[in-house]
Amino acid sequence: MSQTKSIVIAAYKRTPFTRAYKGDLSKVRSDDFGAQLIRGLVDQTKIDPETIEDLLVGNAFPEAEQGFNVARLMVFLAGLSNSTAGATVNRFCGSSMTTIHQAAGNIAMGAGEAYICAGIESMSHVPMTGFNPMPNPELMERMPQAYIGMGETAENLAKKYKIDRTAQDGFAVASHQKAAKAQDDGKFKDEIVAIKHGGKEIKEDGCIRGDSSLESLSTLDPAFDKNGTVTAGTSSPLTDGASAVLVCTEEYAKKNNLEPLARIRSIAVSGCLPEIMGIGPVNATKKALERAGLTVDDIDVFELNEAFAAQSLAVIEELKIPLEKLNLDGGAIALGHPLGASGGRITGKAAQLLKREKGKYALATMCIGGGQGIATVLEAL
């Protein structure tokens, strides 16, 4: 792949991720916490809002407070320049990674120099089916798996790849331990923008359970299939949160005294069978790596979105990802998975880790409901 411009991730921020319904963000509108995050990104990077071409906002259920093309509204809420446009993007869990891809593509086309690529999701306020689920009855008759529930797809992968309960529990415990350690070591401080609400500051992640253990997880009942192996403990929790990434040309970063985290090397999306949507990262990653002329062995840092432990383990097996390079600061099972915001988090995180770990290449990839995968390859500058 030939790239005429060097397009970089110059900054990555997120809100705290907190548990839906009971967490600190559960009573905050997602356009509000999203706008505060964007304001925080602009303030901390000291960029001139006038120079931002577009605010792209990923969201998996764009209705209610997330409706009305919320991206444009967040331009106003965040106090950006009126000249900055706004578009809401939906690819379910891949939404905010897609905004990064779109920005990169647009910049490559010469359509502007800087984009804010964000993602927001209040799973407390907008249910996962939306308020008015109305599937196409004809499609549902012909192909019910087009609307399959996510838990069931994880069960399917657990069966297909013979991933037993203990392996899943173990994976989840490791995720919590990594996240808890990162939290204790203050490794999230740089990326989290505190959210003000009702006279208080929300600044801590709310889903991580450092005390999670094999024993405690082994007591949970299956959550989706009475005969299955997937539990609430080995699934990513329902979460509220937002992420934001500044995508721009290397030149722009220099002009604005920003030290870029990583260069975007290649991107890909790929469809797969909806009933095993969790395997989506495999083909997406293969395509992205091929476009970059790289192999899995070249990658130093992997960020794989942990929708489910079973799903993650299946992808790890297929791609042969070395565990010591995977999700160094914990994954979605521990941190939470605010659908539309997760893609921005793992891409931004991969960029940040690449720099921190002084690696050469990083990969961020995730599965998407309905049967898709999305992947981004980053390289050090």
Mark the segment that binds other proteins (CB under 8 A) among 40-48, 49-57, 145-153, 354-362: 145-153
Nearest CB to other proteins, comparing residues 79 and 149: 149
In the complex, least distance from residue 133 CB atom to other proteins, rounded to whole angstroms:
4
Point out which span in 75-83, 126-134, 175-183, 237-245 binds other proteins (CB under 8 A).
126-134
Stretch that binds other proteins, among 148-156, 246-254, 255-263, 340-348 (CB under 8 A): 148-156
Task: Give the residue, chosen from 5, 128, 147, 159, that forms a contact with other proteins under the rule CB under 8 A.
Answer: 147
> Least separation, in Å, of the C-beta of 23 and other proteins?
23
Site map (CB under 8 A) of other proteins, residues 218-247, x = contact? ----xxxxxxx-------------------
Q: Which of 341, 339, 346 is nearest to 362 (CA)?
A: 346
- Residues in contact with other proteins, total (CB under 8 A)? 20
Least CB distance to other proteins at residue 304 (A):
26
133 sits near other proteins (criterion: CB under 8 A): yes
Residues carrying an active site annotation: 93, 337, 367
Decide if residue 140 touches other proteins (CB under 8 A): yes
Binding residues for other proteins (CB under 8 A): 129, 131-137, 140, 147, 149, 151-152, 222-228
